[in-house]
Structure 1
Amino acid sequence: MEYIVEKIGMSRTITVPSKPVTLLRVLDAKVCEVNEGTAIVAYNSGKKMNKSIEGQQKKYNLSSEFNRLVTLEVANTEAGDLDFAPLAEASVVKSRFTTKGRGFSGAMKRWNFSGGPASHGHRFGRRTGSIGNAEWPGRVMKGKKMPGQYGNTQNCVKNEIVSYDAENKILVVVGSVSGANGSLGRVEVTK
């Protein structure tokens, strides 16, 4: 079973020893169609509406609070409100979020290289350094750690559930989850 969640932030438990935890808010969602375990689910992403979204709302008779559609694996067998019962019984979830985007980054930031000495008389500084061999193979090998796009990729992490507040729909998981506070992601119940 999958759910759309919003990352609230991080905290820690008050037990001894304390554990770092992440707070996730499970978003309200409506199941529009069910096809062999997967379903088309509508939720509110907080973004503006456009013509294509309005067309989807007409097709599935949705209210204006739901403005995005996504395909998820759900416990429901027919259209209606999303079933949150599996979350109350779960012990482990898989969290899938997009990491923070850092744009085009140099090799030191992207790969944690140490760089050259910062003292007098050289030009090495924060550069990558030598990247190839003298003559053979005459090209840069694939997978070479070089400057480039850093972040803004999908990341999946298994987290243990500490607690689930069904009334407020707050899920507390052990450890960190990728992405900035307020970002949306998916949570899949594994056990």
Structure 2
Amino acid sequence: MEYIVEKIGMSRTVGAQSKVVTLLKVKEAKVCEVKDGKALVAYSEGKSSNKSVEGQQKKYNLSAEFNKFATLAVANTEAGDLDMAPLADAKTVKSVFNTKGRGFTGVMKRWNFGGGPAAHGHRFHRTSGSIGNREWPGKVQKGRKMSGQYGNEQVTVKNEVMSYDAQNGVLVVVGSIPGANGALGRVKVVK
């Protein structure tokens, strides 16, 4: 079963064996239709709305707060509220989030290169240096570690569930989860 969650933040437990935990808020969602084990689910995110979203809201009799749609594997067999019962018994979950985007970065930040001497008169401070291979093959090889886009990539992690507060919709998992606070992601119940 899959759910759309928002990362609240991280904390730690108090006790002899202190653990790092991540708090996830399970978003309120409505199942619009179910086909072949997959369901079209509507949830709320911000205030963005357009004619296509308004048409979907009208088609499925949704209120204006449900303005985003996703396809998930759910426990429901028909349209209605999303079934949260599997979260109460969950022991392990897989979380899919986007990491924090760091934009265009150099090789020292992106690949942990050492860089050159920082002394006066030197021209090799934070650059990548030579990238060629002499005469053969006469081109830059694929996979060369160079500067470029860093972060903002989809990462899946497996975490143990510590607790689930059904009243507030807060899922507490052991360990860290990628992404910034407030980021939206998916959680899939493994066991």
CA shift for structure 1 position 119: 1.7
Secondary structure in 1 matching 2:10: strand
The residue type paired with residue 53 of structure 2 is I
| TM-score, scaled to structure 1 | 0.97
Q: C-alpha distance in 1, partners of 2:172/2:46?
A: 22
Tell me the equivalent position of 1:190.
190
Tell me the equivalent position of 1:94.
94
Residue 154 in 1 paired to residue 159 in 2?
no
Identity rate, percent = 72
Superposed CA RMSD: 0.9
Q: Residue deviations 1:84-108, cap 9 Å, x none?
A: 0111111111110111111111111
Number of positions where the alignment pairs a residue of Structure 1 with one of Structure 2? 191
The residue type paired with residue 124 of structure 2 is F
Q: Residue deviations 1:133-182, cap 9 Å, x none?
A: 11111111111100011111111111111111111010011111111111
Tell me the equivalent position of 2:142.
142
Q: C-alpha distance in 2, partners of 1:47/1:115?
A: 45
Secondary structure in 2 matching 1:87: helix
Secondary structure in 2 matching 1:58: helix
The residue type paired with residue 106 of structure 1 is G
CA shift for structure 1 position 18: 0.7
Secondary structure in 2 matching 1:32: strand
Q: C-alpha distance in 2, partners of 1:15/1:88?
A: 24
CA shift for structure 1 position 59: 1.1
Deviates more, 1:114-123 or 1:26-35: 114-123
Q: C-alpha distance in 2, partners of 1:146/1:167?
A: 48
Superposition map of 1:28-177 within 5 A = 28-177=28-177
CA shift for structure 1 position 8: 0.3
Q: C-alpha distance in 2, partners of 1:40/1:15?
A: 42
Tell me the equivalent position of 1:4.
4
Q: Residue deviations 1:43-94, cap 9 Å, x none?
A: 0012321111101101111111211111000000110000001111111111
The residue type paired with residue 102 of structure 1 is R
Q: Which runs of 4+ in 1 moved over 6 A?
A: none
- 5+ unaligned residues in a row in structure 1: which ranges? none
Tell me the equivalent position of 1:13.
13
Secondary structure in 1 matching 2:47: coil
- 5+ unaligned residues in a row in structure 2: which ranges? none
Q: C-alpha distance in 2, partners of 1:103/1:12?
A: 30
Q: C-alpha distance in 2, partners of 1:126/1:60?
A: 55
Secondary structure in 2 matching 1:6: strand
Q: Judging changes above 3 Å, is the alpha-carbon distance between structure 1 residues 47 and 109 closer, same or farther for their aligned structure 2 residues? A: farther
Q: C-alpha distance in 2, partners of 1:168/1:122?
A: 58
Secondary structure in 1 matching 2:54: helix
The residue type paired with residue 164 of structure 1 is Y
CA shift for structure 1 position 132: 2.0
The residue type paired with residue 28 of structure 2 is D
